Amino acid sequence: MDDVDAFSGAVYLLVPGEPVLEMAVMAGLPRTFAAPWERLGLTAPVPVAEAVRHRQLVWVSGEEDMARRYPRISVVLPYPFALAAMPVATDRAVYGAVFVTWPGTHSPELPEEKRERLMSACGRLARRLERAQEKGDPVRPEPDLLAPAPMTNPAGTLGTAEATRMVARLPYGLCALDLQGRITFVNAAGADLLGLPVSALLGTQLWASVPWLNDPVYEDRYQAALVSQRATAFVALRPPSDWLSFRFHPSASGLSLRITRARAVAREGAVAFQHGDTGTRLVSISQVLSLAGSLTEAVGVQDVVQLVADEIVPAVGGQGLVMLGSGAGRLHVLGQRGYPDPRELERFDGMSLAEHTPGTHALRTGVPAFFASQRDLARLYPDQRPAGGMAAWAYLPLIASGRPIGTWVMAYTAPHPFPADERAVLVSISGLVAQALDRARLYDAKHRLAHGLQAALLPPSLPSLPGIEAAARYLPATRGMEIGGDFYDLVPLRGGEAAAVIGDVQGHNVTAAGLMGQIRTAVRAYTTVGQPPGEVMRSTNRLLIDLGAELFASCVYLRLDPARGQVVMARAGHPPPLLRTPDGTVRVLDLAGGPLLGIDPDAVYPTTEVALPPGSLLALYTDGLVESPGVDIDDALAGCADRLAETGDAPLDEVADTLVHYSGTAEERVDDVALLLLRATKSL
């Protein structure tokens, strides 16, 4: 820290046998400032974990950079400061990570000299840890590097009696605080303004000794001053009607506090949890905000399990997790982490809720159960066989909207007492987990429904046709219900001919999907009775208008004749197909066409005949393949054509996968994507 002018930092070490980083020593600031991250999983979205995962320095330039890249940290520590995190690693192993921080006035770039010094120091630390491991020397605990100023009289603090008299004569209050927030000096004016004698203030924290300052909002200003190394201020009401102004001036060794009278202003409130008789925080309001923020990011049930295992369980000191849900009167194991042999938990899957176990009891009654040791568990549940060598458990019911939906079981590898305040905190966190799990179960059910409906409406497979090779892809939009109105079909006809269709019903929801199914069925029916392409389009258009759905659809319909090497097409407001000829040239087919289906009952759809010699490849697609925000449609279509030209000779499934991947829609899609490839084979 001294070498790079940083004012705080910490060393994290990997916990043996666990994918967890644990803070070994903190310097420059109280450990409570990093309480939400004393223990964290390697997958956690925080700089030290990222430094270990990628084995490189992570630089966060300031408050805005932190909010953009690590929003959970920004919620808990919304102060201007810069941070660098480095891995502690050799070529053979990773031992942990280090972070250091600078005031918010630091330049937005980390100078190369400081970067090299930081990485060099972490390299030296890693080599020392490696040598210690080779020798079998354990890493011993080390106190945090905070040296509180000794409690002394004012003369000793200020140096001379004359200085003391000078400070005593000041018309405003003056206090000195150490890094822990404890008062090491206060003048008479300050004590008078605070309403307590000097003896009652020395050695105490301001917000602990002065009742009307017992509010985390005021403590937050002290934290902001230390983390940002900038002056901060607040105004507080001294009952019944006196408003006082407080201003912190921080340094690397503590803070000076000036107290004066001020005009009245409003104040805000907050809450913090205290841990038992020790007074140390188990989970603060900062941690609750961080945990709540992480749970809002969970989408499916497994996301909830992963987040609870990676961030909540390490934060409260647990080693094992089992998430149990309920359905049809039985327990179901939704997920687990931390158990060496997951098969040991299989006996709980499908267990009747009538069974006498702590998990079923917590779910049935909504009452949590805490077992500090195996003896405590055996006393109430003598037949319960602990899984995975665990020695203490917390069974926490998950209740959402007044309904018990499951049980969260947190396990410890050693006996663990559960003080009353810790139990209250765990139960409170369970409420957050329950809400997240309830949302996730609804999402998973909706996801299964959407995919099942989509699968039922689209052809399960494409028919095998003489002279024609076919491949298709369908990708739902990643926003909304993941279901849409894009469709395709391939219909074999007599005489070796075939009909193909691809279309797009407006919207991507259940209504669009239902209408899509009706249109696809109608097209197949009109095709089967022998209508020519233009008439199939006209009949489908009239049907769509008669249904009164108030939705439009685009469509391309074609009749294939492999024996003659020809295809007849009709188009209704749909993107034009791409044709790759046997020599590898790709062109956009400029087809005559009519309006979208469902607009004009008298619309006419002219047809176009195109040669399709053996080796030709026809690509039919919906606009989701080529349209994306910020990309010109002509450029996207040209890029798709170029990719088709390059890969058109590959197996058709590879061509389909390449086109979908190249389009940029593989991960994030605002619209459905349908693709139908038809290749005229050479063995007609």
What is d(CA 527, CA 515) in angstroms, rounded to the nearest whole number?
18
pLDDT in tens, 623-639: 888 877 667 788 888 88
Portion of the chain with pLDDT greater than 70, in percent: 87
Q: What is the DSSP letter of 24?
A: E
What is d(CA 588, CA 464) in angstroms, rounded to the nearest whole number?
27
Look up residue 268 and give its two tokens.
């805000």
The pLDDT value given to residue 497 = 92
The mean-pLDDT minimum among 65-69, 95-99, 103-107, 642-646 falls in 65-69
Mean pLDDT across 643-659? 92
Residue 255: strand pairing partners: 177, 250
pLDDT in tens, 553-572: 999 999 999 989 999 999 99
The mean-pLDDT minimum among 11-15, 39-43, 625-629 falls in 625-629
Q: Are 385 and 401 in contact (CB under 8 A)?
A: no
CA dihedral 480, 482, 486, 491 (to 10 degrees): -160
CATH number of 167-261: 3.30.450.20
The mean-pLDDT minimum among 287-301, 345-359, 610-624 falls in 287-301
Answer whether residue 279 shows pLDDT above 60: no
Mean pLDDT across 536-564? 90
CA dihedral 464, 482, 627, 678 (to 10 degrees): 0
pLDDT in tens, 393-405: 999 999 887 788 8
The pLDDT value given to residue 269 = 36
The pLDDT value given to residue 399 = 86
Mean pLDDT across 280-305? 67
Question: Any idea where the domains of the chain sit in the sequence?
Answer: 2-135, 167-261, 297-450, 458-680
Strands (DSSP E) found in 32-80: 39-41, 58-60
Topology match between the domains 2-135 and 458-680 = no
Q: Are 404 and 324 in contact (CB under 8 A)?
A: no
Mean pLDDT of the chain: 84
What is d(CA 107, CA 401) in angstroms, rounded to the nearest whole number?
49
Residue 447: left (phi > 0), alpha (psi -120 to 50), or beta?
alpha
User: Is residue 641 very low, low, confident or very high in pLDDT (cuts 50, 70, 90)?
Assistant: very high
Q: Which of 561, 657, 571 is nearest to 606 (CA)?
A: 571
Look up residue 368 and give its two tokens.
């949590």
pLDDT in tens, 349-368: 888 988 989 999 888 888 88
The pLDDT value given to residue 280 = 38
Answer whether residue 670 shows pLDDT above 80: no
pLDDT in tens, 148-189: 444 444 444 445 556 666 676 677 899 999 888 899 988 888
CATH number of 297-450: 3.30.450.40
Query: Which residue's structure tokens are 């329950």?
Result: 434
Domain 458-680's class?
alpha beta
Classify the C-alpha dihedral 592-596-599-602 as positive or negative.
Answer: positive
The pLDDT value given to residue 76 = 74
Domain 2-135's class?
alpha beta
The pLDDT value given to residue 669 = 55
Query: Which residue's structure tokens are 């909207």?
Result: 401
For residue 298, how many other CB atoms are within 10 A of its CB? 20
